[in-house]
Structure 1
Amino acid sequence: MTVILLRHGVSTSNVAHTLAGRSAGIDLTDRGREQAQALVQRLGSLPIEHIVCSPLLRCQRTVAPLADKLGIDVEPDERLLEVDYGDWTGRPLGELISEPLWKVVQRHASAAVFPGGEGLAQVQFRVVSALREHDAALARKHGGEVLWVACTHGDIIKSVIADAYGMHLDLFQRIVVEPASISVVRYTPTAPFVWRVNDTGSDLSTLAPPRDPAARSGPVPGGETGNTVSTDNEGVEHPDSHTE
């Protein structure tokens, strides 16, 4: 089972350099809407069977054109919501940098609990559990491998990738997930395999479930995966950490 982890496009909070969190009404910018439309060309020809998304507006707007193209109803899932940043929600990033908790978030994320909100370890548990639950349900429903999309937020995706890598959550800030990027995890009975991270524009045809059973078990000796995978991150701005 292969999940495409899609981060929402550039939002009004991204350009304002504030921590949107779960604030209502945060929409895509013109650039974000362009990115959402571009996803139709990037993903529209893939055999995607299901789309799940965070209920927040910026995720719904991002995935809507793709869902329309594929004729798929989007399933909202509150477990894919952005981190509950509590009292930090809506504050400027430049102001938050001076908070003592900022260094904890950057260096010891597993211990970080946002005042009035949730902890990052709690976040990772809820989202990984949700993805695995969707993955198992789709496997039962389709009786085989399925390619599906989960549209959510930057820190959420980074925590999933860290889990798939077997990386301690304290290191997850080393992972970059830009607006409208895709990251891909293929779950198998023995282990998850990370196929792409922060991909913003390359050919995605190799994400279709492989027909050769030998290619389904993950990497083979020599480091190959059975398909050619390339990543193209040209032309995309590097967002600040924690811009939702």
Structure 2
Amino acid sequence: MNADQTRPVPAGTAGTATRVLLVRHGRTPTTGIELPGRAAGLHLSEAGREQAAHVARRLVPLGPTALYSSPLERTRETAAPTVEATGLPLRLDDGLLECEVGDWTGRRLADLARLEAWADVQHRPSGFRFPGGESFGEMQERMVATVDRLRAAHPGGTVVLFSHADPIRCLLAHALATPLDAFQRISVGPCSVSAIAYHRDPDGTAQDPVVLTMNSTDEPLQTLVAS
């Protein structure tokens, strides 16, 4: 599926699906410059705040059932306009956190790109662990388990999760049955929306997830819940 492309839930199954909408936080002053990891105190830039307001306008017509966010400031600030528009509480969940990048926290991307290990991050992430931090495999397992837990709490609902680029990309790779070593090929831009539908058969058996859209930034999202 190309970036910014959507397709409706398969006919006849929309009523039994739980829809999970994954929103990357908006731009910050260090987006594309530094690897912030889980460092505290990083807030949205003015452009990021505008993106957050825009994504709220896109999400509200879907009638979200629940809103969850990574505890970091930049995700909570991205969620704030949606919270205000829907009146839903924002629940913080550590499972949605950015990857723990350990000793690389706050380092400039240009400097990291000069390291031999950077090639592993880009081309062999399944075998890479951040020095003093998480591995990509652990991050993917954490994200998959978190989404399974949150969607199970809202069967048939529309759950919005505000998270970070790499956790979202790793979850999408899992849903697409894509090898973790290829997850870097998935684009997840600031304040983009990606969506996955989780269906169950009448007997309760879980079906394979259906990726409805990835990296969506502009088009209306109502088609994601079409019956």
TM class by smaller structure: 0.7 to 0.9
Kept in 2, the 8 Å contact 1:47–1:208? The answer is no
State the TM-score, normalized to the length of structure 2.
0.88
- Within-5 A mapping of 1:47-196: 47-139=63-155, 145-188=156-199, 189-196=206-213
Q: Any gaps of 5 or more consecutive residues in structure 1?
A: 140-144, 211-244
Tell me the distance in 2 between the aligned counterparts of 1:209 and 1:108.
Answer: 38
Residue 155 to residue 98, structure 1, CA distance change in 2 (3 Å): same
% identical aligned pairs: 38
Kept in 2, the 8 Å contact 1:21–1:85? The answer is yes
The Cα shift of 1:173 comes to 0.4
Tell me the distance in 1 between the aligned counterparts of 2:104 and 2:72.
Answer: 18
1:35 aligns with 2:46: no
The Cα shift of 1:101 comes to 1.4
Counterpart in 1 of 2:6?
none
For each residue in 1:51-89, what CA deviation from the matched residue of structure 2 results, as whole angstroms up to 9, or x when unmatched?
111000000000111111100001100011000000001
- SS of the residue 1:186 aligns to: strand
1:206 aligns with 2:206: no
Matched residue type, 1:93 = L
For each residue in 1:26-72, what CA deviation from the matched residue of structure 2 results, as whole angstroms up to 9, or x when unmatched?
00000000011112221112111001110000000001111111000
State the TM-score, normalized to the length of structure 1.
0.82
Tell me the distance in 2 between the aligned counterparts of 1:163 and 1:113.
Answer: 19
- SS of the residue 2:195 aligns to: strand
Kept in 2, the 8 Å contact 1:5–1:184? The answer is yes
Matched residue type, 2:88 = I
The Cα shift of 1:208 comes to 2.4
Runs of 4+ in 1 over 3 A off after TM superposition: none
Tell me the distance in 2 between the aligned counterparts of 1:174 and 1:199.
Answer: 16
Kept in 2, the 8 Å contact 1:22–1:83? The answer is yes
Tell me the distance in 1 between the aligned counterparts of 2:194 and 2:96.
Answer: 15
For each residue in 1:185-244, what CA deviation from the matched residue of structure 2 results, as whole angstroms up to 9, or x when unmatched?
11121100111000001011112263xxxxxxxxxxxxxxxxxxxxxxxxxxxxxxxxxx
Tell me the distance in 2 between the aligned counterparts of 1:131 and 1:209.
Answer: 22
Tell me the distance in 2 between the aligned counterparts of 1:203 and 1:137.
Answer: 26
Matched residue type, 2:167 = I
- SS of the residue 2:188 aligns to: coil
Tell me the distance in 1 between the aligned counterparts of 2:106 and 2:183.
Answer: 23
Tell me the distance in 2 between the aligned counterparts of 1:36 and 1:137.
Answer: 25
- SS of the residue 2:111 aligns to: helix
When the two structures are aligned, how many residues end up with a matched partner? 204
- SS of the residue 1:138 aligns to: coil
- Alpha-carbon RMSD across the aligned residues, in angstroms, is 0.9
Q: Any gaps of 5 or more consecutive residues in structure 2?
A: 1-17, 200-205
